[in-house]
Amino acid sequence: MEFNFYSPEEEINFAPITSHGVRLFMKRDDLIHPFISGNKWRKLKYNLIHASVTQKKRLVSFGGAYSNHILALAAAGAKFGFKTTAFIRGEEVSNPVLEFCKLFGMQLIFVSRDAYRDKQNCFNHYFEGDNETFFIDEGGYGQAAAQGCREIIDELNHTYDAIFCAAGTGATAAGIINALAEKNLATKMNVISALKGDGFLKAEIDRLLVKPHTYELFSQYHFGGYAKTNAELLQFIQRFATETGVLLDPVYTGKTLFAIQDYVSNGYLKPGSKILMVHTGGLFGILGMLDRFKDLYR
């Protein structure tokens, strides 16, 4: 399996942040692959390797109707020679993300919100006793995902005073924290939750840590909840795209950069400090929200 890809570490000049005298860099994981985007590639990597070594033929996972993870799984399965099945939460719908999944040959099984809660049961119902299928948890969460994401830090050319990364399941953050801990780096890790009521997120991150390590979890940048947004956030994303040529999604990375701006404006970093934002990709999230951007141009 060939996992070579391109994810440069770019310095970005964006006045709302850099006018405070700090330097902003981005780890451009959004450029890894158009569909196996950002952290989803990294989270799948060791799952794909395990599945291949154990001679599995089909990858099975779980997600919502706009899941970046499911889209990544569909494209990765096709690329690396696996069949794929996804259990999608809620009644049957069609949207651009799911249509792309089908284009990559993925089988979609829609399950009620109630049934979806018991993932093992969903899996068993269709695949019990089938030892050629490989179970991947919702959002790709797990030890293998964290293992893939720690490589973000291994690839860096600079050292940073602070790193910022979005979190859904927390596996990406855990991988980064593990790398910082093992390399004894003084870099402060800041995790921006995309969820409202993320009471379990800290526990989910901690469950994947190889040893305890401090990090900060920011819970106040969800803009009303998961995948919720408002005009202020959309305007911020639009300004950033216009001034830097880098797109952010409204679900994760837009909120993360917004948090960075807030953090820097509050003077938490000395002038001259270097910040890294991990661009976790997920730009297909915009597809569900293009209508909202239209309102900006009226």
Ligand X SMILES: *Cc1c(COP(=O)(O)O)cnc(C)c1O
Is residue 254 within the footprint of ligand X (CB under 6 A)? no
> Count of residues binding ligand X (CB under 6 A)?
19
Active-site annotation holds for 67: yes
Question: By C-beta, is 60 or 97 nearer to ligand X?
Answer: 97
Q: Strands 23-28, 9-12: parallel, antiparallel or unpaired by DSSP?
A: antiparallel
Can you read off the two tokens belonging to residue 34?
Answer: 């158009």
DSSP bridge partners of 11 = 25
| Candidates 37, 61, 67, 193; catalytic one | 67
280 binds ligand X (CB under 6 A): yes
Please identify, among the stretches 44-52, 209-217, 264-272, 275-283, the one whose residues bind ligand X according to the rule CB under 6 A.
275-283
Interface of this chain with ligand X, residues 186 to 245, rule: CB under 6 A: none
Encoded one letter per residue, x for contact with ligand X by CB under 6 A and - for no contact, window 152-191 reads: --------------xxxxxxxx------------------
Phi, psi of 205 (to 5 degrees): -65, -50
- Of 60-119, binders to ligand X (CB under 6 A) are 68-69
Is residue 47 involved in binding ligand X (CB under 6 A)? no
Alpha carbon distance 43, 114 (integer Å): 27
DSSP of 50-111:
HHHHTT--EEEEEE-TT-HHHHHHHHHHHHHT-EEEEEEESS----HHHHHHHHTT-EEEEE
Task: Give yes or no for residue 7 binding ligand X (CB under 6 A).
Answer: no
When the beta carbons of 77 and 282 are compared against ligand X, the nearer one is 282
Cα–Cα distance list, 96 to 41, 73, 254, 286 (Å): 20, 15, 21, 11
Helix (H) or strand (E) holding 17: helix 15-18
Question: What are the residues binding ligand X (CB under 6 A)?
Answer: 38-39, 68-69, 139, 166-173, 249, 252-253, 280-282
Active site residues: 67
